[in-house]
């Protein structure tokens, strides 16, 4: 079906009173704003002209399209000018390429003859040949006489090949984070964490050495002195004899050690040292200097003697095998 519509052209006052030449300036352009193969009802299109090499300050007048509300064509947006600077020379006005366009839409299918576009430019009337607009209607099902709606976007299922790069990237990032965390933890612990643990007697002797010196015998420091010495001995007893000495009282410790291989004199000496430490810690007893002087030698003798006994036991067991 072929339709035509007459659009009234009401030009600006400059166009009505213009004097000058009437020039055939080429064709108008018609561009759909939606990227489709064809133009459908209610699609919007740019309709306009291109003016080449216009000097800055040149007077310009464009027509006014007046359409009724029930016209099949409607103007969505009036004229809009877009300019691009072409050249700029010293002491000369700038020159531009100007695109003048408006936005049209159609609410009925058919073919429309658009009007020509006269443009008054510096006193001359440039007439651009009109374009033809073909608007297609939505297809109708001839069996049900219902228009076909727009098809929804097709959703394809996600395949393993599409997920594989994301999965590999996720696991690679996880491994990298784990490696960085391990390196940070190893650096914080230092190289000592990679070394094997020292034997119990070495650990005990190192801690006892920390309390050597008469400055620890002062009355206000005796509690810390006896606590440090007995704690080192408790840890050694727990590691050497399997007695939970850290959670036991003095009586409980030596009750469990009664059946061990500790010599009687050394056993009595250690028991007396622990009982004296209890008096210092809990009864605020002040120990004389001569008794304080014997604390560390007794503790060291206990560690070295019992450790030597352990070595002899291991040697005798190895010889029997």
Per-block mean pLDDT, blocks of 10 residues, the chain (321 long): 31 46 89 84 92 87 82 90 77 86 91 90 90 84 67 82 90 93 80 66 88 86 91 91 89 88 89 92 89 90 83 57 50
CA distance 305 to 234: 16
Predicted local distance difference test score (pLDDT) of residue 10: 36
What pLDDT score was predicted for residue 200?
86
Structure tokens belonging to residue 233: 């001995």
Q: In this structure, how many other beta carbons lie within 10 angstroms of the beta carbon of residue 299?
A: 23
pLDDT at 297: 92
Q: What is the largest CA-CA distance in the chain?
A: 136
CB-count burial class (<10 Å; 0-12, 13-18, 19+) for 206: exposed
pLDDT of residue 67: 74
Q: Is 218 helix (H, G, I), strand (E, B) or coil?
A: coil
Strand order in the sheet with 44-55: 29-32, 44-55, 95-106, 73-87
Task: Please name the helix (run of DSSP H) or strand (run of DSSP E) that holds residue 182, with its range, or none.
Answer: helix 160-189
């Amino acid at each position: 079906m072929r339709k035509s519509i007459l659009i009234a052209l009401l030009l600006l006052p400059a166009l009505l009173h213009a004097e000058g030449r009437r020039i055939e300036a080429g064709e108008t352009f018609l561009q759909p704003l939606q990227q489709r193969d064809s133009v459908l009802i209610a699609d919007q299109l740019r309709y306009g002209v291109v003016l080449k090499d216009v000097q800055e300050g040149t007077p310009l007048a464009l027509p006014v399209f007046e359409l009724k509300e029930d016209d099949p064509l409607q103007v969505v947006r009036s004229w809009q000018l877009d300019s691009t600077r072409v050249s700029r020379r010293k002491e000369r006005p700038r020159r531009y390429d100007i695109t003048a366009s408006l936005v049209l839409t159609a609410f009925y299918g058919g073919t429309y003859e658009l009007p020509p576009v006269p443009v008054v430019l510096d006193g001359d009337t440039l007439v651009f040949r009109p374009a033809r607009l073909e608007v297609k209607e939505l297809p109708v099902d001839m069996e049900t006489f219902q228009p076909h709606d727009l098809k929804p976007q097709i959703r394809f299922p996600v395949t393993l090949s599409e997920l594989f790069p994301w999965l590999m990237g996720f696991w690679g990032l996880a491994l990298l984070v784990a490696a960085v965390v391990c390196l940070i933890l190893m650096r914080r612990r230092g190289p000592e964490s990679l070394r094997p643990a020292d034997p119990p007697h070495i650990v005990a002797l190192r801690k006892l050495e920390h309390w050597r010196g008469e400055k620890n015998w002062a009355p206000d420091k005796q509690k810390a002195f006896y606590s440090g010495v007995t704690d080192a001995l408790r840890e050694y007893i727990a590691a050497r004899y399997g007695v939970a000495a850290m959670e036991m009282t003095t009586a409980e410790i030596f009750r469990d050690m009664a059946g061990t291989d500790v010599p009687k004199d050394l056993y009595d000496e250690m028991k007396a040292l622990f009982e004296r430490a209890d008096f210092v810690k809990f009864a605020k007893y002040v120990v004389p200097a001569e008794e304080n002087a014997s604390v560390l030698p007794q503790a060291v003798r206990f560690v070295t003697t019992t450790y030597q006994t352990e070595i002899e036991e291991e040697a005798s067991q190895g010889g029997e095998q």
